[in-house]
Structure 1
Amino acid sequence: MPKKKKTVYVCQECGYDAPKWLGRCPGCGAWNTMVEEVVAPEVKGSGGLRLGLSDAVKPQPIGDVQLEDLPRFLTGSGELDRVLGGGVIPGSMVLIVGDPGVGKSSLTLKVCADVARSGRRVLYVTGEESTRQVRMRADRLGAIADSLLVVSETNLETIEAHVSNTKPDLLVIDSIQTIFKPEVQSAPGSVSQVRECSVELLRIAKTNGIAAFVIGHVTKDGNLAGPRVLEHIVDTVLYFEGERNAEYRVLRAVKNRFGSTNELGLFEMRDVGLVDVPDASKMFLSERECDSGTVIIPTVEGTRPLLVELQALVAPTPYVPPRRTADSVDIKRIQLLLAVLEKRVHLQIGACDVYVKVAGGIRIDEPAADLGICVAMASSFANRLIRPKTIVFGEVGLSGEVRAVGQADIRINEAKRLGFEHVILPMKNYRQLAREVTGINLYGAETIRDALRLAMPKD
Structure 2
Amino acid sequence: MSLFTCTNCDSQFPKWYGRCPECSQWGTLVEQSNPASNSKSSKQKTSHKAIASLSIQQNQKIKDQASFRLRTQNTEVDRVLGGGIVPGSLLLLSGEPGRGKSTLAAMLACSLFKSSSHVLYISGEESLIQLKERFLRLSLAFDQVHYLEAHPIETIIATIEKELPTFVIIDSIQTIGSQVLEAPLASPNLVRYITNLLLTFTKQTNIPILLIGQVTKEGSLAGPKTLEHLVDVVLSLEGDSVHALRFLRSSKNRFGSTGEVGVFEMTNHGLIALENPSKHFLQERVAVPGSVLTATLEGSRVFLVEVQALVEKNAYSVPIRRASGFDQNRLMMLCAILSKRASLSLQDHDVYINVVGGIELHEPASDLAVCAAILSAKTNKIQEYPVIYLGEVGLGGELRSVPLLEQRVKECKRFGIKEIIVPMRQKLPQTKGITQISELSS
TM-score for the superposition, normalised by structure 1: 0.88
Shift of 1:205: 1.2
DSSP-derived class of the 1:74 partner? coil
Paired residues of 1:216 and 1:224 also in contact (CA < 8 A): yes
CA distance in 2 between partners of 1:22 and 1:154 (Å)? 34
CA distance in 1 between partners of 2:27 and 2:364 (Å)? 40
Shift of 1:31: 2.2
CA distance in 1 between partners of 2:20 and 2:326 (Å)? 32
Unaligned stretches of 5+ residues in structure 1: 1-5, 451-459
CA distance in 2 between partners of 1:158 and 1:67 (Å)? 32
Paired residues of 1:117 and 1:145 also in contact (CA < 8 A): no
DSSP-derived class of the 1:275 partner? strand
CA distance in 1 between partners of 2:286 and 2:405 (Å)? 25
The residue aligned with 1:227 is 224
1:314 paired with 2:306, answer no
The residue aligned with 1:381 is 378
CA distance in 1 between partners of 2:136 and 2:113 (Å)? 15
Cα deviations by residue, 1:41-62 (Å, 9 ceiling, x for unpaired): 9798996933322x3547x8x9
Work out which of the residue numbers 240, 250, 254 in structure 1 matches 2:251.
254
Paired residues of 1:299 and 1:368 also in contact (CA < 8 A): yes
C-alpha spacing 1:65/1:167, structure 2 compared with 1 (3 Å):
closer
C-alpha spacing 1:351/1:76, structure 2 compared with 1 (3 Å):
same
Structure 1 window deviating more from structure 2 (384-393 vs 90-99): it is 384-393
Shift of 1:23: 2.4
Shift of 1:146: 4.8
1:23 paired with 2:23, answer no
Paired residues of 1:38 and 1:185 also in contact (CA < 8 A): no
Q: Which amino acid aligns with 2:275?
A: P
1:173 paired with 2:173, answer no
C-alpha spacing 1:191/1:80, structure 2 compared with 1 (3 Å):
same
DSSP-derived class of the 2:425 partner? helix
Equivalent residues in 2 for 1:33-52, closer than 5 Å: 35-36=28-29, 49=48, 50-52=50-52
Work out which of the residue numbers 8, 13, 21 in structure 2 matches 1:12.
8
Unaligned stretches of 5+ residues in structure 2: none
C-alpha spacing 1:112/1:65, structure 2 compared with 1 (3 Å):
closer
Work out which of the residue numbers 399, 406, 429 in structure 2 matches 1:433.
429
Shift of 1:384: 1.5
Work out which of the residue numbers 182, 185, 197 in structure 1 matches 2:182.
185
Shift of 1:349: 0.8
The residue aligned with 1:77 is 74
C-alpha spacing 1:211/1:133, structure 2 compared with 1 (3 Å):
same
Shift of 1:147: 4.5
Shift of 1:151: 1.0
The residue aligned with 1:105 is 102
Structure 1 runs, 4 residues or longer, greater than 4 Å off: 6-9, 36-48, 62-68
1:447 paired with 2:439, answer yes
DSSP-derived class of the 2:428 partner? helix
1:160 paired with 2:154, answer no
Aligned residues: 433
The residue aligned with 1:305 is 302
C-alpha spacing 1:164/1:48, structure 2 compared with 1 (3 Å):
farther
Cα deviations by residue, 1:259-311 (Å, 9 ceiling, x for unpaired): 11111100000001111011100011011111111111101111111001111
DSSP-derived class of the 2:316 partner? coil
Q: Which amino acid aligns with 2:333?
A: L
C-alpha spacing 1:199/1:24, structure 2 compared with 1 (3 Å):
same
CA distance in 2 between partners of 1:353 and 1:136 (Å)? 49
The residue aligned with 1:342 is 339
Shift of 1:166: 1.2
Shift of 1:350: 2.3
Over aligned residue pairs, what C-alpha RMSD do you find?
Answer: 2.5
CA distance in 1 between partners of 2:4 and 2:179 (Å)? 18
Paired residues of 2:312 and 2:350 also in contact (CA < 8 A): yes
1:143 paired with 2:140, answer yes
Equivalent residues in 2 for 1:391-410, closer than 5 Å: 391-410=388-407
CA distance in 2 between partners of 1:208 and 1:110 (Å)? 24
TM-score for the superposition, normalised by structure 2: 0.92
C-alpha spacing 1:38/1:174, structure 2 compared with 1 (3 Å):
farther
Shift of 1:313: 1.2
The residue aligned with 1:88 is 85
Shift of 1:245: 3.8
Shift of 1:7: 9.5
CA distance in 2 between partners of 1:346 and 1:96 (Å)? 48
The residue aligned with 1:277 is 274
CA distance in 2 between partners of 1:74 and 1:125 (Å)? 21
Cα deviations by residue, 1:372-427 (Å, 9 ceiling, x for unpaired): 11111121122122352211111111111111111111111111111211101111
DSSP-derived class of the 2:411 partner? helix
CA distance in 2 between partners of 1:17 and 1:290 (Å)? 58
DSSP-derived class of the 2:441 partner? helix
CA distance in 2 between partners of 1:415 and 1:142 (Å)? 37
CA distance in 1 between partners of 2:438 and 2:366 (Å)? 16
